[in-house]
Structure 1
């Protein structure tokens, strides 16, 4: 969602780094956080901590919880103080075109539901008719790159097979999520956090430069698939 359909730039990694710094992890490098972008945030924190020189396994769950709580507080504050947060220019146009083709639109995110609702409300997407479902990282047992969020969408929308789904996202974890779910396509989209060459390392089915480029892919697929 954020970084693909909503302009995000580097807000999430910057605020996650800030949360680590507030808890004394002052030698953490930005690259460690960059590698885990798109993953379920508690799991990302755990993996980042495991690579830190001062990591103590006995206190891992406690530390993870504290850093995650700080991150959630920071991102909520950011959303409230930055009214300029906005959708990608072509997002709603793409959603409308896809819906006219009979495609359902689902947004998933590694953010928690409270933060997600705040973000959606701020940009005017809360309960938007062009969005069929949203699923958040704290609503499933395992977030990205595990398939749980996609499976929850399938169950809610009555979709019988992941081969009916195209997953698109701007991180390596997004691409892996689509692959582990068995989606028809697992598509990467370039953004300020991940370049074409970085996304390519996850072996996506396609890499796009903008959200609107998904339209011809869907059109091509619909011409091959009987209704």
Structure 2
């Protein structure tokens, strides 16, 4: 059955120990923002420049375009150093699961709030190759939030993944992620929404966002798109 798994990267398919959020917190704090944990959690899973702008605003720091660009550049450099020092690794079992999903006829496309240079470097470090329809590749596609008009919780990352995969029916799409923003994006796109507990979000947060199902890991889903999640 032709279908699509649209999967988040950090915390869903890649175990990076929540480094991205530690670095994001550090970047906005060093820029003068004071953020409590509950407010910070609202900005996980979204496009990172958008997160920085809002965290600076909420934290009482300057958040004009020039300031946001400067903090984003600092965040990106710190994140790349952190990933070099502590290389991310695949979520346990996910590479086998993705092969099985693709063998069953589904496309596997990663969607992310990372900018393209960070995402490309991360996948290169994992040895994951992206090539739609190539059975020897790891994935069929990678879409970054900077490549659509708005990142999560808007539906455009998922819709672009559908376009890339040639999937028109939302009933044949499962979107999975570890944050409320991932779940909300899936709901807004009208696809099956799966929350995973391998990253930043709690079961309570994912269920409150409207997840159809919450699982410990994406590999707990059936690789058959027809039975991967229950609405």
Map 1:25-64; keep pairs closer than 5 Å. 25=33, 27-52=34-59, 54-55=60-61, 59-64=63-68
Please state which structure has a larger fraction of its residues in strand.
2
**Which consecutive unaligned segments of at least 5 residues does structure 2 have?**
1-8, 131-135
Structure 2 residue corresponding to 1:175, chosen from 174, 183, 189:
183
**Which consecutive unaligned segments of at least 5 residues does structure 1 have?**
223-227
Alignment of 1:70 with 2:78, yes or no, is: no
1:50 shift after superposition: 2.7
Higher relative contact order (CA 8 A, sep 6+): 2
Between Structure 1 and Structure 2, whose CA radius of gyration is higher?
A: 1
Change (3 A) 1:192 1:134: closer
- CA distance in 2 between counterparts of 1:211 and 1:86 reads 15
- CA distance in 2 between counterparts of 1:151 and 1:203 reads 19
Partner of 2:5: none
Count, aligned residues: 217
Alignment of 1:15 with 2:27, yes or no, is: no
Change (3 A) 1:221 1:131: closer
- CA distance in 1 between counterparts of 2:17 and 2:85 reads 16
Deviations 1:110-154 (A, max 9, x none): 001100111001111133713100101121121111111112222
Alignment of 1:142 with 2:145, yes or no, is: no
1:192 shift after superposition: 4.5
SS in structure 2 of the partner of residue 96 of structure 1: helix
1:23 shift after superposition: 1.6
Deviations 1:185-204 (A, max 9, x none): 11101134212122111011
Please state which structure has a larger fraction of its residues in helix.
1
- CA distance in 2 between counterparts of 1:221 and 1:107 reads 17
- CA distance in 1 between counterparts of 2:159 and 2:210 reads 22
Contact 1:39–1:144, Cα closer than 8 Å, also in 2 = yes
Map 1:114-153; keep pairs closer than 5 Å. 114-127=117-130, 129-153=137-161
- CA distance in 2 between counterparts of 1:118 and 1:164 reads 30
Structure 2 residue corresponding to 1:206, chosen from 195, 213, 219:
213
- CA distance in 2 between counterparts of 1:216 and 1:24 reads 45
